[in-house]
Amino acid sequence: MHSNFITPPDYVESILIHDATEEQIKQLSEVIGNANRPYNVYFYNQSMNDATWLAKVNAIADKVIYAENTDPTEYFTK
């Protein structure tokens, strides 16, 4: 585990991605690794079966992406 110490004017956007495939996660790793800004990216799929965790992350996420409906890499390459 690690922690971030963040001071103004910096901001780290939190993204929750539902049901990403292994291939999508690999693509996201490359895209986000080359991004010019930091992100906190949370992944969740139904097999994790942790509604409490999901509710906490939903509450703090700036953006929720449903990978079964859209390509999540598009959000990071705009």
**Three-class SS string for the chain?**
CCCCCCCCCCCCEEEEEECCCHHHHHHHHHHHHCCCCCEEEEEECHHHCCHHHHHHHHHHCCEEEECCCCCCHHHHCC
Residue 64 falls inside a structural domain: yes
pLDDT beyond 90 at 1:
no
Give residue 41's pLDDT band: very low, low, confident or very high (50, 70, 90).
Answer: very high
Residue 7 falls inside a structural domain: no
pLDDT beyond 90 at 78:
no
Residue 60 falls inside a structural domain: yes
pLDDT at 4: 86
Residue 4 falls inside a structural domain: no
Q: How many domains does the chain have?
A: 1
Rounded alpha-carbon distances, angstroms, from residue 57 to 42, 63, 73: 8, 10, 20
| Whole-structure pTM value | 0.90
Between these two residues, 4 and 23, which has the higher pLDDT value? 23
Q: What is the span of the domain harbouring residue 37?
A: 13-76
- Quick one: average pLDDT of 34-54? 95
